[in-house]
Structure 1
Amino acid sequence: MKLKYLMFASVLSWLPVTSAVASGQVEVLHWWTSSGEAKSVKVLKQMMEQQHHSWKDFAVAGGGGESAMTVLKMRAVSGNPPTAAQLKGHDIQEWGRLGFLTSLDDVAQQERWDHVLPPVVAKIMKYKGHYVAVPINVHRVNWLWVNPQVLNAAGVKVPTTLDAFFVVADKVKAAGFIALAHGGQPWQDATLFESIALAVLGSADYHKAFVDLDMAVINSDKMVAVFRQFKRMKAYIDPESKGRHWNATTEMVINGQAAMQFMGDWAKGEFAQANKQAGKDYLCVPAPGTQNQFTFNIDSLAFFKLKGTEVDNIAQYDLAQTLLTPSFQRIFNLNKGSIPVRLDMDMTAFDQCALDSMQAFKQASLSGDLVPSFSQNLATTADVQSAIVDVVSEFFNQADPDPKLAPPRLARAIKSAI
């Protein structure tokens, strides 16, 4: 019998006779607030309520999660953490080191997580060999989203290299459209920069720069070239981009105002919400110059030690178990635009974008071209990531920045954050 049901029975032994089921509460802190993301969260809420638990939504808006992390720190320090919170990468390790996270080994063993998860993913979810977080999906960050009608109107084809991108963008701009939809927020600046860096540096040097923090690569001529190409992108962005959220930016591509957007595959959820069909109304292609590479991001929930009742502990167990069930994996990722994290998933219901992403994920994991996204806080610590984003965004928002000066600034910022 499953551990949770043994626990369930022990709770029932002291509950009042009138209580037919154990009803706990789950409170989840997250920043899934766009239309596609909110639909995915609603599914999880319904699944928990079907198990007779109450759902307390703790959504903190902000695509990069900075605001959510500020709130989480206040809650945790005051001794009142949520049941689970959206954390990833090095943040999971840091919260584990501070002693806030609880072990999920019982449910992991019961559900055979080590057998259904890719090793690279399972490792990130563990602290000192123990599961403390649950992965929900795999995002590919290095996508280019394209409105084919806009490209047709401009008489151009989808660009596959950075050089081709600028040729296409010039023609789209001349035709009266916005060539590049971009939201002027620091994390979006970093997302754009990241895809350019992957194309210019290649997978190996990308890893050296943003995972190993190799100063020789960071201070190299290749990094100067990255900033030079990054600077060129600004000429194709509309003047109203400052502060615009990513999903509002995606709407520009959906509505035909803009031709292209560099953004992770969570953007696909917005196309789906608008009833747009992949391959017809929009195209999802690797960011120019990154065809065989895959920058990955993983959405995950880390689970906190609770001071609540036993039924709340049961609810926490049920939440952890539900997140990796094939049914939730399918529904959540169809809405979110990402791919399931389970290796044994039936992909029949998924569109070509997801099938291409899954194939690229598996191939990149074998070829050495699978690299963690620094823009999404998976490649390095939060402090280093913040330092990189600050330098990148400041450079991009200067009137006439010098690409040769940017790598030394980046190196100094990273050193100060290590």
Structure 2
Amino acid sequence: MLVLNCGSSSVKYQLLDMADRSRLAAGLVERIGERASRLLHTPQGGDARERTGPVPDHATALKALAGELAADGYGFDDPELAAVGHRVVHGGQRFTEPTVVDDAVLAEIERLVPLAPLHNPANITGIRTAWALNPGLPHVAVFDTAFHTTMPEHAARYAIDVATADAHCIRRYGFHGTSHAYVSRRAAQLLGREPQETNVIVLHLGNGASASAVAGGRCVETSMGLTPLEGLVMGTRSGDIDPAVVFHLARVAGLSVDECDELLNKKSGMVGLCGDNDMREIVRRRDAGDAAARLAFEIYVHRLRKYLGAYTAVLGRVDAVVFTAGVGENSAPVRQAAVEGLAGLGLAVDEARNTAASKEPRVISPEGAEVAVAVVPTEEELEIATQAYALVTTAGDTDGNAVGAAHRNAAGSTGGTSNR
């Protein structure tokens, strides 16, 4: 399985052997459209290869990465290549399962561009470009929003005029869904339980950050909403904010809608608070006595604790709180601070376990803790590959619903509406 994650100026990719879920190759093409483009390709068991020079567009980028794979003995025409899995950020309410792409599906993804104007166009470009390299190969779209479509209406709806909301598709969709799906399921395995019997709070903490409440393998609440701006404090995004801040800035500062968008998405969060969005540097500055870094860290952690309390109330019973993604997996100070003072919710970390260096899934709470606190490295590309592979290799059941069966096999889910 080849997995492609196409951004506006980059393509991340992994080639995986689904027999043992091992990574055969991985790479990145970045700064597409610039003179100083860069391709970094790492084959299994080999040294990384780096290429620099202009990559004018995504078509050139995909041809370049195809060349690197061919040099390793793989390629888009390899008979063992089952399919290409594509990350697509926004699937709206229509796409709740991994979906084989055809012209009608692409048209629907294009219709959703207003909901994800920075992401869906790049995803579409990646699909079209890869499709052209081998038109006979199945291409499967796996949607960031899909895992969150099991949220009940009372969690997904905003309290605004219903007719206006419906006319403009305004509701809470959530993002990072492949990560939340993988991590919640992997956490249940770590505890020796079935996902259907486990309630988990997942904290996906990277430059973008989101929380989810997962009850029995199904998302019932998540922190991001119509866009990835809502929720936790992030690297450059504000997270939760009074909507009237935008009106106030328009009236008293003369900011346009686009300028407010720029402020809240790119100049806020940790970089807005202290000038840095690298948690390692923020912690270093905090420990050195930097007041701005200390306050930024405290605001970040305060928001995490608010969501932990809220999602405990939503779930009623919590079996585990799980940290993942760059900050969640690597910042022991953030994990320690996030659960500090929450002993009443059964949350604590063991200092030695929390600070021990490890890349493996692990429990970091004390022995016998009421609620497990764990670290589970996310594997979004593997999750995309797993869902896409299950779809293209599962024969249709009696009613022809191969998609629904594939998603259940891949993700342990029994809900959602399938689409082909």
TM-score (norm 1): 0.28
TM-score (norm 2): 0.28
Point out which structure has higher relative CO (alpha carbons under 8 A, 6+ apart).
Answer: 1
